[in-house]
Amino acid sequence: MVRPQARDIATLSRTRELLEKYGFSFKKSLGQNFLIDPNILQRIVSVAQLSRDKAVVEIGPGIGALTEVLCRAAGKVLAIEIDQRLLPILQESLAPYDNVQIVHGDVLKLDLHRLLAEHLSAYEQVSVVANLPYYVTSPILMKLLEERLPLERIVVMIQKEVAARVAAEPGSKDYGSLSVAVQFYAEAEVAMTVPAGVFIPRPNVDSAVLNLRLRERPAVAVEDEQLFFRVVRACFAQRRKTLYNNLLHNLFGKENKEQVISLLQAVGLDPMRRGETLSLAEFARLANEFARLRQAAASGNERV
């Protein structure tokens, strides 16, 4: 079969042509801002360090602007799109490529382990590369990380402020529970910032490309992951409050002042510090000691 010639999708003229041909109108509620700058696409792909022996999962291919560049750089591309109206457009725009598989569905609801096993099992290294819909950035990132998908990297275009929060270091104003949650699973860096003008329609915010390199094992050893994240969330619950106050009101309950003090003493943390100054290792110490206290209390029938 002779496949049609590839014409770059990520140009304003080709994008307009496709949108008009199919009478497509953008849905803001689905975070639809399509890339129209081939240079940005090349830069995203170079951050992802793809090669023919690697596979890629793309979330939200839109009309295929990034998908096409991924098809040229990787061995296989699995692209998940929620908006059914885009499927016929993708069929036309990606017709020149035989290494792409489009899956229709909501990435938050799909069984990604199964999809990877079904479509990409021939590849040892799989990365996620995507220009994410901004309304669901954090749930998507957390799903990819918490489900422990066998991924090498996650390279995603997201809102600049969110990228800064994900990659923030302890003590900075952007550091919060999202930074801890992501950095627990991955090394995070902001690879580049991207102006609003490279999208159609133009979003109200600037964007950045976040580069996550997944760790072989979590950054710190914790007894109980759920408990670790509960402790982290409690410590950040009210940013202006001290560790002592946040733990008292959001984890222990206000009648347990002494237990909070003795927990903090046991791990050598100053009760007057704020959650935003704690490193992952300090959160792990705190959570592990809390887990130990709970176990001790449970066996002695005390309440913690």
Contact positions toward ligand SAM, by CB under 6 A?
30-35, 59-62, 65-66, 80-83, 86, 106-108, 131, 133, 136
Q: How many CA atoms lie within 13 A of 250 on its CB side?
A: 20
Identify which of 157, 155, 176 has the alpha carbon closest to the alpha carbon of residue 165. 176
- Least gap, CB of 236 to ligand SAM (angstroms): 26
Query: Structure tokens of 164?
Result: 């800064």
Q: Which is nearer to ligand SAM, 69 or 182 (CB)?
A: 69
Q: In whole angstroms, what separates CA 288 from the centre of its chain?
A: 26
Shortest Å, Cβ 57 to ligand SAM? 11
The residues, any chain, with a CB within 8 Å of residue 300's CB and separated by 6 or more, are: none
Taking the least distance from each CB to ligand SAM, the nearer of 32 and 246 is: 32
Cα 281 from chain centroid (whole Å): 22
The smaller minimum CB distance to ligand SAM, of residues 131 and 288, is found at 131
Specify the 3-state DSSP secondary structure of 210: strand
Q: How far is the CB of 51 from ligand SAM (least distance, A)?
A: 21
Q: Which of 16, 13, 73, 75 is nearest to 43 (CA)?
A: 73
Minimum CB distance to ligand SAM smaller for 34 or for 244: 34
Q: Please give the DSSP secondary-structure letter assigned to residue 150.
A: -
For residues 133 and 275, which CB has a smaller minimum distance to ligand SAM in the complex? 133
Residue nearest to ligand SAM (CB): 60
Query: Distance between CA atoms of 130 and 41, rounded to whole angstroms?
Result: 10
CB 205, min distance to ligand SAM, A: 12
CB of 60 to ligand SAM, least distance (A): 2
Tokens of 203: 């979003």
